With several copies, the nearest count.
Chain A
Amino acid sequence: MQDLTDLYQSVILDHNRRPRNYSVLPTANRVGSGNNPMCGDQITVYVKLDGDRISDVSFQGSGCAISKASASLMTVNLKGKTIPEADAIYAGLHKMVTTGKVGEDDMSDLAALAGVYQFPARIKCATLGWHAALNAAKGDERPATTEKPGD
């Protein structure tokens, strides 16, 4: 089962086992949620927004290793970023998991998600938490869902 380590890199397994910022955020002024109806995965994201800066972010929920690790990595990577900066990071991630290409920017620990590209059914898992967080930060109250075609 060697090829699985492409997908389940040690960074992923680590974030899955010990997800970072896995808690309710008492200071949050935005809450977002996401679900993957086909899998039953549910995620809640808590965002503290100062101006257009995500000064803090956390999450809770149930999901597979990929979605949990990706949401955990999301909190680590978005904390302290402005919304445009967060959008740019997500754009890089999205490109990576859909095309397999790592962008020019250094993706640092996010590169652990590059293997998702080879598992198209799991792309939704890798983006769910990010959708929920960005929607919340932008004040879109609708739950993020993975079911929009083409996503």
Chain B
Amino acid sequence: MNQAWKNIRADFPILDQQVNGKPLVYLDNAATSQKPQCVIDALTHFYQHVNANVHRGIHTLSMRATFAYEAARERSAKFLNAAESGEIVFTAGTTDSINLVANSWGDENLKKDDVILLTEMEHHSNLVPWQLLARRTGARLRFLPVVPGDTGLLDLAQLDKVLTSEVKIFAFTHVSNTLGVINPVTQLCARARAVGAISVVDAAQSAGHLPLDVQTMGCDFLAVSGHKMCGPTGVGLLYGRKVLLDAMPPYRGGGSMISNVDYFESKWAPAPQKFEAGTPNIADVIALARAMDYLDDLGREAIALHDEKLASLAYARLAAEIPGIRMLGPADHRSGVISFDLPGVHAHDVVTMADQEGVALRGGHHCNQPLMRKLGLSSTSRASFYLYNTEDEIARLVTTLQKIHGFFAG
């Protein structure tokens, strides 16, 4: 652990508060992460010194804003090891990125009876856009199952059966937001390519948590949310291989995505501008780049180790110390997301009670309704860890769950 890790909690002003009279233990990181002061400062600095619209302006502020905005694109390309910055499209987040691919690549390339392959563990954001695409085009959905039981691992033995030559798109999550499973993304992308399908990786839960290298992964598209990786809300990005982006029709129409406009028809700008209609989310894009710096100063290898260490510890302690608890997801080799069920206590009651102790958990279907049904659950409680969480906080979690169990059992 390098110097940047010392005093890491001081970087996050929000953590220093009491909730219901107890020090806050924020364990809802899979929903959204907290922001370090340097990211907040990047926003303040932008609005106090730089703010102007980009691209079309040649006065000093506009040039400053444009350079900072395009530097953020370079920074993002480096963050993902994209071959060039032109492969980075800024969006409103993972959901927006996936909809972009479904609408632009999907509508252009899918025909009736083509197959869109997903997995049984997808977040609604990597499921509903494909349902809508299937309805528009007549394509069919197919699902790679998870193995029976509670580990939630993908059933790779079934891959041959479902990943056939009819598959045109294979979209899957890198890390499950409910089960903490880390999928073998490099292998899955290679298998997709082998049958001529494009791969779409939902990296909402992995960007900012694991080292990501799109060239090594071999994915065609990868979707990221800024707010889950220490960046602001409302911004994210889509990585797309340049040859694919170049061939795709636009997504939204508007200013900045055109090369020529007449009353009755228009020509498009090259990618990535073609996909960035209208005034972009300039300030948040720039602040997102600052979040990338912050994460890389800590080291993404180190972050992944930290997340896994906490999650494995929490998994082991909850399994051992909470009577009757049902743990979901794998025991180790996992991300920082833990899901569990306390039989007889609904997840909402768990969350409300934990909140009384200052512990922020999430309870519900986690935008994962079909998977929940498959597991025979309507909801789970979830604790998700990130770089500022500590072993002491796991102790607080364990004590809290013991109390809750006692309250309902009593």
Contact = CB atoms under 8 A, between A and B. Distances in A.
Interaction A to B: yes
Nearest to B272: A149
B378 interface: yes
Given A1-B403, A40-B379, A64 B346 contact: yes
A62 B341 CA distance: 14
Contacts of B273: 147
Given A40-B369, A40-B372, A62-B378, A122 B348 contact: yes
B48 to A, nearest CB: 22
A77 B347 CA distance: 27
Interface residues of B, number: 42
Interface stretch (A22-30, A31-39, A82-90, A129-137): A31-39
A99 B293 CA distance: 27
A37 B270 CA distance: 11
Interface string B342-364: 00011111001100110000011
B353 A39 contact: no
B356 A147 contact: no
Contacts of B85: 149-150
B346 A37 contact: no
Interface string B55-94: 1111000110011001001000000000011100000000
B260 interface: yes
A117 to B, nearest CB: 13
B378 A37 contact: no
A145 B20 CA distance: 30
Contacts of A120: 63, 67
Given A8-B407, A38-B55, A39-B365, A1 B356 contact: yes
B378 A41 contact: yes
Given A35-B260, A64-B346, A42 B378 contact: yes
B259 interface: yes
Max chain B C-beta neighbours (<10 A), residue from A41, A121, A145: A121
Interface in B226-262: 256, 258-260
A65 B352 CA distance: 11
Interface in A1-34: 1, 3-4, 7-8, 13
A125 interface: yes
B398 interface: no
B15 interface: no
A66 interface: yes
A15 to B, nearest CB: 13
Interface residues of A, number: 30
Contacts of A41: 348, 378-379
A26 to B, nearest CB: 25
Contact of B86 (A65, A66, A148): A148
Contact of A145 (B259, B272, B353, B363): B259
A37 B259 contact: yes
A112 B356 CA distance: 19
B348 A148 contact: no
B269 interface: yes
Nearest to A6: B356
Contacts of B365: 39-40
B374 to A, nearest CB: 13
A14 to B, nearest CB: 12
B352 to A, nearest CB: 6
Given A39-B379, A149-B73, A121 B369 contact: no
Contacts of B270: 145, 147-148
Interface of A: 1, 3-4, 7-8, 13, 35, 37-42, 62-66, 68, 119-122, 125, 143, 145, 147-150
Given A65-B348, A149-B272, 16 more contacts: A1-B353, A1-B407, A3-B20, A8-B349, A38-B256, A41-B348, A41-B378, A62-B346, A62-B378, A64-B347, A66-B349, A119-B58, A121-B66, A122-B58, A122-B352, A150-B86
30 contacts: A1-B353, A1-B403, A4-B356, A4-B407, A8-B349, A35-B259, A37-B259, A38-B56, A38-B364, A39-B56, A39-B348, A39-B365, A40-B372, A41-B378, A62-B378, A63-B346, A64-B347, A119-B58, A120-B63, A120-B67, A121-B58, A121-B66, A121-B352, A145-B269, A145-B270, A147-B259, A147-B273, A149-B84, A149-B85, A150-B86
